[in-house]
Amino acid sequence: MTHLGYLLSGWGIALGVLAIYALRLVRRGRRLSARVPPAHRRWMQSPGTSGD
């Protein structure tokens, strides 16, 4: 296979960066979820209101 170095670095960087970003997002989500009470966690609800 020609250009192996270019291929590995291109795919490696892209998939690696996406994976790191995804992991960080999940971590951030976990941390925030624990801090925000359940009433505020529903996605489609305005942050100003409370209750289900």
Partner 1 sequence: MDILATESRITTGSRGTRLLGLAALAGVLALLVFAFVLTDPDVRTHPTSGEEFGQFDAVRLLYLHVPMAILTYAAYALCAAASAGYLLRRTPWWDVTAHAAAEVGTLVCALVLVTGSIWGRPVWNTWWEWGDVRLMTTLLLFLLFLGYLALRRAAVDPESAARPAAVVALVAVLDIPLVNRSVEWWENRTLHQKSTLAELKIEDLTLFTLVLGIVVFGLVVTWLLLHRFRVGWLERAEVTHGIDRAIAERRGVASTTGVDSTVGQTREES
Binding residues (CB under 8 A) for partner 1: these are: 1-4, 6-7, 9-11, 13-15, 17-18, 21-22, 25-26, 28-30, 32-41, 43-44, 46-48, 50
State how far the Cα of 43 lies from the Cα of 16, in Å rounded to an integer.
29
Minimum CB separation from partner 1 for residue 20, in Å? 10
Minimum CB separation from partner 1 for residue 51, in Å? 10
Catalogue the long-range contacts made by 45-51 (C-beta closer than 8 Å, 24 or more residues apart): none
Neighbours of 45 (CB within 10 A): 13
Minimum CB separation from partner 1 for residue 42, in Å? 9
